[in-house]
């Protein structure tokens, strides 16, 4: 080699020491074989020179081999000196045995290949060629001595072939070893660069505010940055995959959005492929997440609205598929946008609400008097239009004024079952509904912390909305309580009318957004605000009810109470 092992980086240097240890262990095996082999053949009149202490020589060689092995294993210093001394010892012992056995005719010249090959691998090229030169000189001197003795079996050509073969083998082995060491140094350098780059990436990803998930084709989560762990309540180790999105009920909306994105055709329009998805998730275990996530801890929402963007990791030539999911919590952004929208559109209305109600009262009174006196159908229709619009404006003013009211939480939880029964009975009488149209499932004695007046307003709002689309048959409007995986109480308000589409659902709780010509666009917004003021949450969800005989998802409004209590 062109450089000694002491100047190599930590990786190649350790490789050299391991190779030297292997070389030393192999020497022990060869010494033992030589001792056994020569001892057996000596009894058969072997041709070793009489008087030569071959057993002692092989015994000393075995002892030195063991010492070299221990030295290479426990004293990793002066690598080149240890290597040179070991090879020199090998050449000396093999030369003694070679000469004592009669030179080339013994066939022991092949033993030189062991130390020479080791020198070609472990030593610089110049030192390895020096050892080959020594061996060649020994072979030539022994052959010359045999010629001087006029031995019949003396042959210089065989010795010359040995020398040439040793030179060629040492050069080739040295070059191959040099190339391997160069590749190992390059791999080590690339590995260090990769570690540095990974450390930088982890630092950048950990510091970003957006959540980042890396998932496989089957939605297995491989890694996530701290922001994503806080958003989703996950704890993912760096060296192992966590779980599948489909295995966590609260993360099913993300899994559905991921599979919907992954199932798009490869020739889809780039704008559609890059379009973000919006999902609403709830924590799977509120106790485990409370105080440990920015989504659930310290916020009044019991769910988070996330914006998802998907990106495929390019792995050309590899079968491994990875997808990066970027998560952005837009709940606060939406809340701020709604507050700004309400402030811009509602502040003026709220400021003149009291001034407007007096003229509205006069207009309503005048329209009522005109309706009593007129007998013309056309005029009666105009009076009805005036009355309807007066009612609508008055209801809008009432909704705006409700936003200023705050929950007065009681010290004791409120019994939910009798409260709901009273609200439904009053609603049925007020709207003249036939008995059985409103169905309230049998409930246990649940208690919740919710302002009764606010809960009444929320339920009446949801029932009015359901009444607009229900068929009117028995049980067409249903209310039932369920408990989710986190033991939280949910009140479902459902009708048998058509489900709300995804497009409408995205704007369902925005102020002043309505699909009805008679609506104000504030009812659902006010209902959600009242729920939030009471530590609860209102949302429109798509659920499957297998126990009720439904195999497909059905839409319903879901009120998630903050503190369920089943006393």
Is 509 a member of any domain? yes
Q: What is the pLDDT of residue 132?
A: 87
Residues of the chain above pLDDT 70, percent = 74
Q: What is the pLDDT of residue 435?
A: 82
Is 199 a member of any domain? no
Q: What average pLDDT does this structure show over 158-163? A: 80
Q: What is the pLDDT of residue 299?
A: 41
pLDDT at 333 over 70: yes
Output the six-digit token pair for 34.
């030589």
Looking at the fold, whether 447 and 515 belong to one and the same domain comes out as yes
For residue 455, give the CATH number of its domain: 3.30.565.10
Last residue of a domain, one of 402, 428, 446: 402
Is 398 a member of any domain? yes
pLDDT at 344 over 70: no
Is 334 a member of any domain? no
Query: What is the C-alpha separation between 399 and 390, in angstroms, rounded?
Result: 14
Q: What is the DSSP letter of 297?
A: T
Is 204 a member of any domain? no
Looking at the fold, whether 72 and 124 belong to one and the same domain comes out as yes
Residue whose tokens read 């009318």: 497
Is 566 a member of any domain? no
- How sure is the predictor about 11, in pLDDT bands with cuts at 50, 70 and 90? very low
For residue 224, give the CATH number of its domain: 3.30.450.20
Q: What average pLDDT does this structure show over 331-359? A: 66
Q: What is the pLDDT of residue 438?
A: 87
Looking at the fold, whether 324 and 367 belong to one and the same domain comes out as no
- Burial pattern 13-33, b for ≥16 Cβ within 10 A else e, equals bebbbebbbebbbebbebbee
Looking at the fold, whether 162 and 248 belong to one and the same domain comes out as no
Looking at the fold, whether 325 and 343 belong to one and the same domain comes out as no
Looking at the fold, whether 58 and 174 belong to one and the same domain comes out as yes
Looking at the fold, whether 68 and 111 belong to one and the same domain comes out as yes
pLDDT at 196 over 80: yes
Query: What is the C-alpha separation between 46 and 396, in angstroms, rounded?
Result: 119
Is 385 a member of any domain? yes
pLDDT at 360 over 60: yes
Q: What is the pLDDT of residue 49?
A: 52
Looking at the fold, whether 314 and 386 belong to one and the same domain comes out as no
pLDDT at 48 over 60: no
Looking at the fold, whether 98 and 155 belong to one and the same domain comes out as yes
Last residue of a domain, one of 305, 329, 353: 329
Query: What is the C-alpha separation between 342 and 308, in angstroms, rounded?
Result: 26
Q: How many structural domains does the chain have? A: 4
DSSP characters for 36-64? Answer: HHHHHHHTTT--SPTT--HHHHHHHHHHH
- How sure is the predictor about 553, in pLDDT bands with cuts at 50, 70 and 90? low
- Burial pattern 523-544, b for ≥16 Cβ within 10 A else e, equals bbbbbbbbbbbbbbbbbbbeee
- How sure is the predictor about 285, in pLDDT bands with cuts at 50, 70 and 90? very low
Q: What is the chain's mean pLDDT, rounded?
A: 75
Range of lowest pLDDT (127-131, 268-272, 274-278, 304-308): 268-272
Looking at the fold, whether 320 and 344 belong to one and the same domain comes out as no
Bridge partners, 279 (sequence order):
306
Q: What is the pLDDT of residue 330?
A: 80
Full residue range of the structural domain in which residue 394 is found: 339-402
Q: What is the pLDDT of residue 485?
A: 62
pLDDT at 354 over 70: no
pLDDT at 274 over 80: no
- How sure is the predictor about 204, in pLDDT bands with cuts at 50, 70 and 90? confident
pLDDT at 447 over 80: yes
- How sure is the predictor about 292, in pLDDT bands with cuts at 50, 70 and 90? very low
Q: What average pLDDT does this structure show over 260-285? A: 63
Q: What average pLDDT does this structure show over 145-159? A: 70
Element (H, E) at 81: helix 79-100
Bridge partners, 542 (sequence order):
555
Query: What is the C-alpha separation between 111 and 30, in angstroms, rounded?
Result: 9
Q: What average pLDDT does this structure show over 273-299? A: 52
Q: What is the pLDDT of residue 271?
A: 42
Contact (Cβ atoms closer than 8 angstroms) between residue 373 and residue 407: no
The total number of residues shown for the chain amounts to 567
Q: What is the pLDDT of residue 295?
A: 36
Last residue of a domain, one of 354, 370, 402: 402
Looking at the fold, whether 393 and 426 belong to one and the same domain comes out as no
Angle subtended at Cα 506 by Cα 505 and Cα 512, rounded to the nearest 5 degrees: 85
Q: What is the DSSP letter of 323?
A: E
Query: What is the C-alpha separation between 493 and 506, in angstroms, rounded?
Result: 19
Looking at the fold, whether 439 and 457 belong to one and the same domain comes out as yes
pLDDT at 493 over 80: yes
pLDDT at 366 over 60: yes
- How sure is the predictor about 417, in pLDDT bands with cuts at 50, 70 and 90? confident
pLDDT at 92 over 80: yes
């Amino acid at each position: 080699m062109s450089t000694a092992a002491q100047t190599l980086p930590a990786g190649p240097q350790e490789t050299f020491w391991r190779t030297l240890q292997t070389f030393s262990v192999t020497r022990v095996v060869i010494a033992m074989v030589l001792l056994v082999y020569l001892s057996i053949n000596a009894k058969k009149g072997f041709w070793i020179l009489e008087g030569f202490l071959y057993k002692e020589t092989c015994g000393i060689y075995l002892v030195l081999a063991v010492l070299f092995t221990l030295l290479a294993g426990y004293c990793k210093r002066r690598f080149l000196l240890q290597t040179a001394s070991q090879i020199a010892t090998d050449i000396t012992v093999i030369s003694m045995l070679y000469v004592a056995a009669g030179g080339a005719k013994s066939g022991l010249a092949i033993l030189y290949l062991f130390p020479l090959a080791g020198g070609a691998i472990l030593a610089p090229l110049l030192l390895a060629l020096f050892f080959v030169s020594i061996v060649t000189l020994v072979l030539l001197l022994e052959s010359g001595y045999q010629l001087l003795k006029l031995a019949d079996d003396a042959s210089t050509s065989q010795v010359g072939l040995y020398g040439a073969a040793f030179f060629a083998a040492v050069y080739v082995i040295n070059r191959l070893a040099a190339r391997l060491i160069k590749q190992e140094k390059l791999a080590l350098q690339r590995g260090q660069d990769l570690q540095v780059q990974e450390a930088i990436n982890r630092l950048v990803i950990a510091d970003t505010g957006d959540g980042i998930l890396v998932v496989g084709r089957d939605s297995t989560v491989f890694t996530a940055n701290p922001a994503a762990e806080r958003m989703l309540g996950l704890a993912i180790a760096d060296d192992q995959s966590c779980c599948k999105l489909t295995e966590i009920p609260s993360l099913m909306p993300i899994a559905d959005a991921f599979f919907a994105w992954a199932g798009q055709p490869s020739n889809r329009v780039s704008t559609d492929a890059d379009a973000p998805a919006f999902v609403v998730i709830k924590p799977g275990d509120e106790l485990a997440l409370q105080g440990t996530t920015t989504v659930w801890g310290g916020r009044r929402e019991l769910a988070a609205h996330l914006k998802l963007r998907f990106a495929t990791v390019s792995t050309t030539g590899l079968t491994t598929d990875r997808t990066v999911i970027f998560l952005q919590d837009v709940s606060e952004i939406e809340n701020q946008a709604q507050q700004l929208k309400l402030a811009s559109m509602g502040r003026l209305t709220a400021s003149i609400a009291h001034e407007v109600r007096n003229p509205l009262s006069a207009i309503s009174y005048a329209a009522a008097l005109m309706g009593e006196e007129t007998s013309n159908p056309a005029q009666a229709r105009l009076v009805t239009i005036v009355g309807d619009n007066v009612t609508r404006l008055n209801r809008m003013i009432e909704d705006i004024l409700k936003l200023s009211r705050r929950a007065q939480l009681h010290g004791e939880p409120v019994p939910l079952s009798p409260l709901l029964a009273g609200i439904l009975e009053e609603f049925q009488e007020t709207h003249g509904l036939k008995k059985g149209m409103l169905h309230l499932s049998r409930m246990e004695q649940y208690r919740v912390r919710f302002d009764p007046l606010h809960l009444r307003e929320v339920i009446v709002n949801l029932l009015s909305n359901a009444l607009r689309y229900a068929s009117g048959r028995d049980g067409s409007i249903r209310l039932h309580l369920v408990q989710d995986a986190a033991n939280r109480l949910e009140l479902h308000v459902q009708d048998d009318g058509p489900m709300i589409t995804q497009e409408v659902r995205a704007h369902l709780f925005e102020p002043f957004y309505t699909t009805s010509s008679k609506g104000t666009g504030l009812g659902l917004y006010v209902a959600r605000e009242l729920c939030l003021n009471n530590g609860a949450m209102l949302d429109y969800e798509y659920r499957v009810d297998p126990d009720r005989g439904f195999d497909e998802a059905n839409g319903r409004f879901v009120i998630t109470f903050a503190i369920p209590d089943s006393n």
